[in-house]
Structure 1
Amino acid sequence: MQTQNNNELIQTLLECAFACEHCATSCLQEEDVKMMVRCISLDRDCADICTQAARLLQRNSEITKEYLQVCEQICRMCGEECAKHKHMEHCQMCAEACQHCAEACSSMYSMSGNK
């Protein structure tokens, strides 16, 4: 049976994935897309990894703890890149979602006895 903490983290992961997808889509519509290549790439990676982490949590996978560490790492990378684009609201929203998600992942895998 899934705990409330898992449900909250799953929600956070999915919100982060959606923010990243929105950011990537918005970046593709910017005038200078070449300037946004790293942001778009990290957005896409982060969205995929967060979505998979949510799936692993949902099914109580044995590798969830290790995967959440990877998820924290990509969220931090994506959040740092998005934060650089201060003039783009979608990047700032994504940076905030990524930071929140990274902290949530870190808290969950740091808890003793949690997968």
Structure 2
Amino acid sequence: MQIQQTETNSKKLKSPEMDQCIQNCLNCFKVCEETLARCFTQIEHKDSSHLVLLKSCAEICNTSAKFMMLNSKFHSDVCGVCSKVCIECADSCEALGDASMKECIEACRKCADSCSEMAKMPH
């Protein structure tokens, strides 16, 4: 009973902006994971720092989405970190100059923008 009330209250507190940010985070998570898999199998970009950054970005995006879904009071803090990691990941992908990185760059930048806005939201 208590859990159902909490879930209902969480849904009431979410905004359309938060819902969009959750979707952007989940998409970025998916795209980073797919890009990472391609790096291992198809692409010649196997620089360990780039691979770690892709995995880090995927993980923080997934975590940010979860914190927002929980309506955790820490979601804005996590979103702030997520924005920074996404920007760095996008920059790293862009620096490779490979057209196959375009989707990842776009997903990271979109997620960074929405997470940056979420980071400004009050707890």
TM tier, smaller: 0.7 to 0.9
Partners of 2:116 and 2:87 in 1: CA distance = 11
Give the TM-score taking structure 1 as reference length.
0.88
Paired AA for residue 5 in structure 1: E
Q: Deviations over 1:36-79 (max 9, x none)?
A: 32221111001010001000000110111111111011101111
Partners of 2:58 and 2:80 in 1: CA distance = 15
Q: Deviations over 1:59-113 (max 9, x none)?
A: 1101111111110111011111011122241x221111111111111112224xx
Judging changes above 3 Å, is the alpha-carbon distance between structure 1 residues 84 and 68 closer, same or farther for their aligned structure 2 residues?
Answer: same
Aligned to 1:108: 118
Mind listing any 5+ residue stretches in structure 2 that lack a counterpart?
1-11
Aligned to 1:65: 76
Please state if 1:46 is matched with 2:57.
yes
Please state if 1:20 is matched with 2:27.
no
Judging changes above 3 Å, is the alpha-carbon distance between structure 1 residues 18 and 31 closer, same or farther for their aligned structure 2 residues?
Answer: closer
Q: Quote the offset at 1:13 in angstroms.
A: 0.3
Of 41, 47, 63, the residue aligned with 1:29 is: 41
Mind listing any 5+ residue stretches in structure 1 that lack a counterpart?
none
SS in 1 for 2:96: coil
**What is the correspondence of 1:67-86 to structure 2 with a 5 Å cutoff?**
67-86=78-97
Q: Quote the offset at 1:32 in angstroms.
A: 3.7
Aligned to 1:9: 21
Give the TM-score taking structure 2 as reference length.
0.82
Partners of 2:98 and 2:110 in 1: CA distance = 21
Judging changes above 3 Å, is the alpha-carbon distance between structure 1 residues 24 and 60 closer, same or farther for their aligned structure 2 residues?
Answer: same
Q: CA RMSD in A?
A: 1.5
Of 87, 95, 98, the residue aligned with 1:87 is: 98
**Between Structure 1 and Structure 2, how many residues are aligned?**
111
SS in 2 for 1:62: coil
Paired AA for residue 16 in structure 1: C
